Amino acid sequence: MRKFHIVLVMLACIQNASAKNPLPSWNDGQAKQSIITFVDRVTAEDSESFVPVDERIAVFDNDGTLWCEFPLPNQAAFALDEIKRMLPENPEWKDEPAVAGLISGDVASLKADHNAGLIKLLALTHAGITPDTFDSRVENWLQTAKHPRFDCSYRKVIYQPMLELLEYLRTNQFETWIVSGGGQDFMRVFAEETYGIPPQQIIGSYGKLKYELIDGKPMLTKTLDSLFVDDKEGKPVAIAQFIGRRPIACFGNSDGDQAMMEYTTIDNPRPSFGLIVHHTDADREYAYDSNPSSSGKLTTALEAAPQRGWTVVDMKQDWKTVFPDQADEGLSSLIGQWLVEDIAVSDSGNQGVVDRAQTTVQFSADGTASGNTCVNRYSGNFNVDGNKLTFGQLATTRMAGPAALMDQEQRFLKAIETVATYEFGEPGIVHFLDKEANRVMKLSKK
């Protein structure tokens, strides 16, 4: 199954770097230090604050804490796209106030009245189908839908500093849970690959499942009967019912998380920690607290933070970066000088390269590509977007040379024109591929 594999690679890199700098995307300051100090206290066996491994429970909200929740909560964006997809076959839905509200973007009114708003939308898009069908629809949506502002997959609008925090806690033998007002089944589709949190450690809002034996086969169907909304006071209830232990660390971003923050940190027999992500960065993400346009209201929890000793993260000040930047990640891997080891594109019938007369490719951080074909120098621009790689027109000098080298130069320039993607092979090797995924060039790092 195709998942957000790049996050798993990123988490592996984070784990390798954690011993040197456990939270590399966090700026040095009170917020970062408070996390490290707490973890050091509860994991040092000679500390009076030591907490046994089986009691190291950390709970995280999802929307606005682990991934972006603007301009709509991502599950609401999924519901909207599902409504649009299904509307031609159900034109009568246009008369439903909830449908009209969602299409117009009036999420606040939907949240204000669960029965008239969100429940109706859930009934139309989430109920009356099997869990497998629902999972498939969510997976298909995640593969194709793009965030309206950032123009990327919703799987990429996750917070890099929080990915590092999750991995840091797990490295220190914490068990990480999601406790969110979002749909439990919705989050379980992507959370393990995206955050490293397995389905059995995800608690969200849910309705009863209906069991039937149909044609001799067991069948489950999603319903909205006995709907449990895992928000506000519902979060401590869910923690007690499904985890069975009081957390010692809690992470949220809104007043909807205040109750589980209180449950975690007030009169806890173990040392405890609470952290609030305050959205203050309109340039890199969004800035909101007391009057958000959709979800994530933060007033009472923010006011209570100093009294309760909760850490407040100022996103603009405390985070070096907000989202994992695949473009920069790919760019940093390519920066430097490479030797062309093989060229597969040829009109002359020749293959390979001339021994000890290989073309060089120099990638620079400013987006320029340059090098030498052993006859002529060239330069131009290149662009990296994820695993996509394209070159602009290359300017070359006009020197003549031996026939073999001129043939090699022409094959190199023609291959460059066909490059669409790249992939890394064994250490120090990169392959350039055309749009049909054929390898057209092999390079080694100098």
- Bridge partners for 432 per DSSP: 422, 441
Closest CA to 197 of 72, 53, 35, 11: 11
DSSP designation for 165: H
| pLDDT value, residue 227 | 85
pLDDT band at 10 (very low <50, low <70, confident <90, very high): very low
pLDDT by residue (tens digit) across 222-242? 998 888 888 999 999 999 999
Neighbouring residues of 421: CB distance < 8 A, sequence distance ≥ 6: 387, 388, 389, 432, 433, 435, 437
Closest CA to 203 of 213, 215, 191: 191
Q: What are the backbone dihedrals phi and psi of residue 321, each rounded to the nearest 5 degrees, phi first?
A: -140, 155
Residue 13 confidence (pLDDT) above 50: no
Instruction: Answer yes or no: are the C-beta atoms of 247 and 59 closer than 8 Å.
Output: yes
What is the percentage of the chain residues whose pLDDT exceeds 70? Answer: 89
The structure's pTM equals: 0.70
Residue 415 confidence (pLDDT) above 50: yes
Count, in order, helices (H) and strands (E) of the chain: 15, 18
pLDDT band at 94 (very low <50, low <70, confident <90, very high): confident
pLDDT band at 149 (very low <50, low <70, confident <90, very high): very high
| pLDDT value, residue 110 | 64
SS3 444: strand
Instruction: Answer yes or no: are the C-beta atoms of 83 and 125 closer than 8 Å.
Output: yes
Residue 328 confidence (pLDDT) above 90: no
Rounded mean pLDDT, 79-102: 85
| pLDDT value, residue 350 | 61
pLDDT band at 1 (very low <50, low <70, confident <90, very high): very low
pLDDT band at 329 (very low <50, low <70, confident <90, very high): low
| pLDDT value, residue 15 | 46
| pLDDT value, residue 373 | 94
- Bridge partners for 206 per DSSP: 228
Distance separating alpha carbons of residues 165 and 182, to the nearest angstrom: 21
Instruction: Answer yes or no: are the C-beta atoms of 315 and 280 closer than 8 Å.
Output: yes
The gap from C-alpha 145 to its chain's centroid, in whole angstroms, comes to: 14
Element (H, E) at 406: helix 403-418
Q: By mean pLDDT, which of 13-22, 149-158, 258-267 is the weakest?
A: 13-22
pLDDT band at 6 (very low <50, low <70, confident <90, very high): very low
pLDDT by residue (tens digit) across 253-290? 999 999 999 999 999 999 999 999 999 999 899 999 99
If you write DSSP's letter for every residue of 73-134 in order, what string do you get? -HHHHHHHHHHHHHGGG-GGGGG-HHHHHHHHT-HHHHHH-TTTTHHHHHHHHTSSS-HHHH
Residue 332 confidence (pLDDT) above 90: no
Domains, the chain, with CATH or none: 5-324 (3.40.50.1000), 327-445 (2.40.128.270)
In sign, the C-alpha dihedral spanning 13, 29, 37, 281 is negative
Distance separating alpha carbons of residues 178 and 44, to the nearest angstrom: 25
pLDDT band at 14 (very low <50, low <70, confident <90, very high): very low
Residue 327 confidence (pLDDT) above 50: no
Rounded mean pLDDT of the chain? 89
pLDDT band at 96 (very low <50, low <70, confident <90, very high): confident
Distance separating alpha carbons of residues 70 and 61, to the nearest angstrom: 15
- In a 13 Å sphere around the CA of 297, the CA atoms on its Cβ side amount to 14
Residue that wins the pLDDT comparison between 289 and 5: 289
pLDDT band at 51 (very low <50, low <70, confident <90, very high): very high
| pLDDT value, residue 8 | 43
